A and B are shown apart, each in its own frame.
Chain A
């Protein structure tokens, strides 16, 4: 298919679908395709500060009894167009295990789909819920073995019965690391100082929620490709809770 002098490879089914659409439906189809293409392309970083990452801010933090994993909600095309204001970047790979991605969105979707499948197969074989480390290891295997082609890093966070709340980071080349808190994405450079200063081990749920919301709000305030609302997922033994903090409820800082 050709869009505005750009060739895009699409699957046969999609190309076939396109041919049967007309008018508004066709325009929507093209728009969606364009959005996907440009999000995939945006991993050629526009951020001059850190390496290659999509416009995003993601974080995960361990607290007393669980983990919180959070992200902003902006999908941008290049530097100046926000293609989605409320996209959810937190992906559930199992009941108590979530994942978020820093890097190319296409790679992220491909890897998480595969990981979800492998994880469900694994948990059926084991006849018990999978360990968070197992989920992270699956990501790591995929990242390491395909390190030439992939451009994505992952944060995997969740709760399991063996070790309770855990956070694992799989970086670009396939290194697996366990950490009490971690941040990623282009907006994360601006909040390294803040999270280093403010993190305390064994926080309560309220403190951890405040910590995450503040950190994400600060990053969104300075990074032009992060923004929108704050998506938080709180994972504990008992439940998984999805909290959305809309823009007007975000904490305000001194110059606002």
Chain B
């Protein structure tokens, strides 16, 4: 009787997705990564403050999108594989290596996994780099966007991106893009997490909802 009155909530059986907006952009001397913080299971928000920017190494981060479980698992495995790859060497790993490891997993398990990771970081050889690894493709780009919310900001980032922005301009660009996407995508929201990586290391920052920029709204 009680089961009919209170049927099991749908979200218990829905897959947990990070319907999300993630973005990474290079600037002169490093990269800036950004993500929203909403994790949804069907129509419910199951976590409103999840940090989707995951460290793979000191100066290499990845941004998670798609199925939460798949994305987290890939990040953990690559974290381990990267350590093995470095071995006892003192040098920091190349961003390209981390991205290749992610790509290898994404490509090999293409049918089973549904996650898209953007890998970005700084290394001594090539400076700031952003790699997109969608569906097993490895592509180095000046900037990359991903997740369900990214469709809405394609026009915005195409119009607003300029080469050789300063660190401050890149951070503003990332926060603006995230805000616009969160404003239109039902699966993105919460706060904005921003990570800036340059030769000195990685700096994490959280921009709360009320501190986000405001755009025209009737």
Residues of A within 8 A of B (CB): 49, 179-180, 189-201, 214-215, 218-219, 221-222, 253-255
- Taking a contact as CB atoms under 8 Å apart, the answer to whether B152 and A189 are in contact is yes
Q: A190-B151, A190-B152 are in contact. Are A197 and B180 (CB under 8 A)?
A: yes
- Taking a contact as CB atoms under 8 Å apart, the answer to whether B177 and A193 are in contact is yes
Q: Is B5 an interface residue (CB 8 A)?
A: no
A191, B156: Cα distance in complex, Å: 6
Q: Which residues of A contact B162 (CB under 8 A)?
A: 254
- Taking a contact as CB atoms under 8 Å apart, the answer to whether B155 and A190 are in contact is yes
- Taking a contact as CB atoms under 8 Å apart, the answer to whether B216 and A191 are in contact is no
What 0/1 pattern do residues 184 to 206 of B give for CB contact below 8 A with A? 10000000000000000000000
Q: A192-B180, A196-B180, A254-B161 are in contact. Are A201 and B216 (CB under 8 A)?
A: yes
In-complex Cβ contact of A189 among B151, B157, B216 (8 A): B151
What 0/1 pattern do residues 139 to 173 of B give for CB contact below 8 A with A? 00010000000011111111111110000000000
- Taking a contact as CB atoms under 8 Å apart, the answer to whether A196 and B183 are in contact is yes
B21 to chain A, nearest CB (A): 10
Q: Is B176 an interface residue (CB 8 A)?
A: yes
- Taking a contact as CB atoms under 8 Å apart, the answer to whether B218 and A180 are in contact is yes
- Taking a contact as CB atoms under 8 Å apart, the answer to whether A254 and B163 are in contact is yes
A222, B159: Cα distance in complex, Å: 12
B7 to chain A, nearest CB (A): 28
- Taking a contact as CB atoms under 8 Å apart, the answer to whether B159 and A196 are in contact is no
B212 to chain A, nearest CB (A): 13
Interchain residue pairs A-B with the least CB separation, the first 4: A193-B153, A193-B156, A191-B155, A194-B155
Main secondary structure of the interface of A (DSSP, over half): helix
B203 to chain A, nearest CB (A): 25
What 0/1 pattern do residues 63 to 103 of B give for CB contact below 8 A with A? 00000000000000000000000000000000000000000
A195, B162: Cα distance in complex, Å: 18
Q: Which residues of B contact A180 (CB under 8 A)?
A: 218
- Taking a contact as CB atoms under 8 Å apart, the answer to whether B215 and A196 are in contact is yes
In-complex Cβ contact of B215 among A197, A201, A254 (8 A): A197
A254, B165: Cα distance in complex, Å: 13
- Taking a contact as CB atoms under 8 Å apart, the answer to whether B154 and A191 are in contact is yes
- Taking a contact as CB atoms under 8 Å apart, the answer to whether A194 and B159 are in contact is yes
- Taking a contact as CB atoms under 8 Å apart, the answer to whether A218 and B155 are in contact is yes
Listed by A's residue number, 11 A-B pairs whose Cβ atoms lie within 8 Å are A190-B151, A190-B154, A191-B155, A192-B153, A193-B154, A197-B176, A218-B154, A221-B158, A253-B161, A254-B158, A254-B163
Q: Is B181 an interface residue (CB 8 A)?
A: yes
Count A/B pairs, Cβ under 8 Å.
68
Q: Which residues of B contact A196 (CB under 8 A)?
A: 156, 180, 183-184, 215-216
A149, B127: Cα distance in complex, Å: 57
A73, B216: Cα distance in complex, Å: 29
Q: A49-B151, A189-B151, A254-B162 are in contact. Are A194 and B156 (CB under 8 A)?
A: yes
Q: Which residues of B contact A198 (CB under 8 A)?
A: 159
A241, B186: Cα distance in complex, Å: 38
- In chain A, what residue has the closest Cβ to B184? A192
Q: Which residues of A contact B176 (CB under 8 A)?
A: 197
Q: Which residues of A contact B158 (CB under 8 A)?
A: 194, 218, 221-222, 253-255
Q: Which residues of B contact A214 (CB under 8 A)?
A: 159
Q: Which residues of A contact B183 (CB under 8 A)?
A: 196
- Taking a contact as CB atoms under 8 Å apart, the answer to whether A193 and B180 are in contact is yes
A253, B155: Cα distance in complex, Å: 10
- Taking a contact as CB atoms under 8 Å apart, the answer to whether A215 and B155 are in contact is yes
- Taking a contact as CB atoms under 8 Å apart, the answer to whether B216 and A193 are in contact is no
Q: A192-B180, A192-B184, A199-B216 are in contact. Are A218 and B159 (CB under 8 A)?
A: yes
A169 to chain B, nearest CB (A): 13
- In chain B, what residue has the closest Cβ to A222? B154
Q: Which residues of B contact A218 (CB under 8 A)?
A: 154-155, 158-159
A219 to chain B, nearest CB (A): 6
Which of A49, A192, A215 neighbours the largest number of chain B CB atoms within 10 Å of its CB?
Answer: A192
A185, B162: Cα distance in complex, Å: 28
